[in-house]
Amino acid sequence: MNDEFDSEKTSVITSDTFKLRIAEAGKAPPCLVLLVGPANAVGRQWPIENDNYVVGRSIQAQISVDDGSVSKSHAKISLESGAVSIIDLESTNKTIVNGSVLTPLSPKILENNDQIKLGNVIFKFLEKGNIETVSVAQTYEKANIDPLTQIYNKGALEHKGIEYFKKSQLLDVPFSIITFDIDHFKKVNDTYGHSAGDYILKEVAKDINGLIRGNDFFARSGGEEFTAILLGGDSKQAADVAERMRTTIANREFNFQGTQIPITISLGASTKGRADHSWLDVFDRADQALYKSKEGGRNQVNLA
């Protein structure tokens, strides 16, 4: 039997995709991958590119994992002369590497595929240039990126909402949410076809994503609904950004296969107040403000 079809032998992939992965892996730094932990973070990886990274429950930790079994500052990852080591920072529930409990404050050099247990959380260490780094990143991306618009999806929004809300509380900075709908989107699909609708979704996402600052977050939160989180953005900044979003789309010419399609969006915005206990409190008010914009004639911004 031809070796290519022999199930007992490993076939060699020579596709351009595999070659690309090899090339990407060659540039990949060492990293930690979360294997067991909060469901919305499993598969996430943290590249190790600088000298020191604190791993812990604290939102200020460079590698932050929201799990009660992990100490606020549980362990430290260090990179020196190409070698990566881990040190237990006298944590409550210990740091365990491949089943062996580490002596606190005593460094342990990590090797490829080492498993690191912090409380109930488990990481895997991947050395520099490991092709698995690319595969894991692609898998995590597929779970968090909307395939049509190539921005974050609702699951990623829920994770970031929790994370950014906690950061705003810890750092005492404003936290605002803007949510918007594409006006009369069903009519677009019915009139011009679903391919035109997909084109509109992709173009709107691309244009609005271009307005988002580096420390903010933007996701597709529903069929034709999108949400932005502004960390450090107060109510005035949220209003200004929302109005910029509105005018950007209203002034944009959407041309699909030679046909110009008029598109506007309706927006709602809200900022965290003292009585808010979660990011969903802020989101719900922004959503209510969005519906006021729709009821008020669309193509407008309302603040909660």
Active site residues: 224
Helices and strands, counts by H and E, the chain: 7, 18
Q: How large is the angle between the packed helices 131-144 and 154-171, nearest 10 degrees? A: 90
Specify whether the CB–CB gap between 75 and 88 falls below 8 A: yes
Structure tokens at 212: 């988002």
Rounded to the nearest 10°, the torsion over CA 249, 250, 251, 253 is 70
DSSP E strands, 142-244? 175-182, 217-220, 225-231
Cα 50 to Cα 29, 54, 57, 116: the distances in Å are: 10, 11, 20, 19
What b/e string do you get for 219-244 counting C-beta neighbours within 10 Å, with b at 16 or more? bbbeebbbbbbbbbbebebbbebbee
Helix (H, G, I), strand (E, B) or coil at 271: strand
Pairing of strands 95-97, 100-101: antiparallel
Q: State the CB neighbour count (10 A cutoff) for residue 67.
A: 16
The CA–CA distances, whole Å, from 123 to 48, 134, 278, 284 equal 13, 16, 28, 35
